[in-house]
Amino acid sequence: MSKQYSADQPAVFENVHFSIDAGEFVCIIGHSGCGKTTILNILAGLEEPTNGYAMMADRQINGPSLDRGVVFQGHALMPWLTVLQNITFAVKSRHPDWGRAKIQEQAYESIELVGLEAAAFKKPSELSGGMKQRVGIARAFSIEPKMLLLDEPFGALDALTRGVIQDELLKICRTTQQTVFMITHDVDEAILLADKILLMSNGPRAKVVEIVRNTMPRNRTRETIHHDEQFYLIRNHLLDFLVRRSVIERDRLGPNDHARDVSPGLGLI
């Protein structure tokens, strides 16, 4: 698919095609302006591609759907509602035929997933930035989406809080087998979380030029990944792309070419 906002301007990205398997965690990395957020918005149904289409579960995406939960960098909570009320609002939207007790039970389960039981009756103004983002994640999980879309959800957090929420997200996704598409600028974060990492060339006319397979064990943690030599192979490959190859690679792919499937240290797959 391609996206062009006006006829007198070049496409933001073009000939982008990739697939995400059920239960897979995919991160996308690239410099600002290459169209990462636009791709996420198309997957969310908030924008439409100029050419091509996006599919989920064999159906074309045509507008927003509760099958896709979205978490942005800003928490977007309703400030006049408590944590529990913010989440019950989402659950009721997903299941309008449910009774109050069942809706509350679902909401509480989502709150427990992110460890915020003690804050259930607090309003957003009483929460830290990290807690607000946990609520946003809990709200997205509460509607049981087929795909979770994350647009740099931890970008505004301090390093310690970011690490804690990364661990929680990883644990939840392993438990629920959630399918995730996430934008990040943090190479280490992508290696920790993702099963595969999409590398985008610089815009305009950006492309997904490589799909990097994460060959590290899926039970990796922040404490253990630095002891695995594969971590440094993958990290060096990603940094080399961002620093040296992100412009060069843009013109390598023709309109009918696919991104290279790469496992650093093993070469092309």
**Could you tell me the CATH number of the domain that includes residue 207?**
3.40.50
Task: Confirm whether 238 is domain-assigned.
Answer: yes
β-partners of residue 105 are: none
Phi-psi region of 15 (alpha: psi -120 to 50; beta: other; left: phi over 0): left
Given this model, what pLDDT does residue 184 score? 93
Given this model, what pLDDT does residue 268 score? 47
65-74, 94-103, 218-227, range with greatest mean pLDDT: 94-103
**How confident is residue 58, by pLDDT bands cut at 50, 70 and 90?**
confident
**How confident is residue 198, by pLDDT bands cut at 50, 70 and 90?**
very high
Task: Confirm whether 107 is domain-assigned.
Answer: no
Task: Confirm whether 203 is domain-assigned.
Answer: yes
Token pair recorded at residue 236: 């060096």
Angle at 17 between CA 14 and CA 22, to 5 degrees: 150
Q: What residue numbers bound the domain in which 21 lies?
A: 1-54+182-269
Given this model, what pLDDT does residue 26 score? 97
% of the chain surpassing 70 pLDDT: 94
Given this model, what pLDDT does residue 250 score? 64
Which of the pair, 33 or 149, is modelled with greater confidence?
A: 149
Task: Confirm whether 262 is domain-assigned.
Answer: yes
Structure letter (DSSP) for residue 202: P
Q: Which residues, including other chains, have CB under 8 Å from residue 130's CB and lie 6 or more apart?
A: 157, 158, 161, 162, 164, 165
Given this model, what pLDDT does residue 258 score? 73
| 3-state DSSP assignment of residue 119 | helix
Task: Confirm whether 246 is domain-assigned.
Answer: yes
Distance of CA 241 to the CA centre of its chain: 20
Report d(CA 49, CA 54) in Å as an integer.
Answer: 8
Given this model, what pLDDT does residue 25 score? 96
Task: Confirm whether 214 is domain-assigned.
Answer: yes
Phi-psi region of 26 (alpha: psi -120 to 50; beta: other; left: phi over 0): beta
Task: Confirm whether 154 is domain-assigned.
Answer: no
Nearest one of 90, 87, 83, 88 to 123, comparing CA atoms: 83
Q: What is the mean pLDDT of residues 156-164?
A: 79
**How confident is residue 170, by pLDDT bands cut at 50, 70 and 90?**
confident
Q: Which residues, including other chains, have CB under 8 Å from residue 190's CB and lie 6 or more apart?
A: 27, 29, 184, 197, 238
Question: What is the number of domains present in the chain?
Answer: 1
Which of the pair, 258 or 143, is modelled with greater confidence?
A: 143
Contact 196, 180 (CB under 8 A): no
pLDDT value at 254 more than 80: no
Given this model, what pLDDT does residue 83 score? 95
Q: Which residues, including other chains, have CB under 8 Å from residue 97's CB and lie 6 or more apart?
A: none
Which of the pair, 126 or 170, is modelled with greater confidence?
A: 126
Q: What is the mean pLDDT of residues 192-213?
A: 93
Q: What is the mean pLDDT of residues 84-106?
A: 93
Token pair recorded at residue 215: 């060959």
Report the mean per-residue pLDDT for the chain.
Answer: 89
Task: Confirm whether 149 is domain-assigned.
Answer: no
Given this model, what pLDDT does residue 269 score? 46
Q: Is 165 exposed, middle or buried (0-12, 13-18, 19+ CB in 10 A)?
A: buried
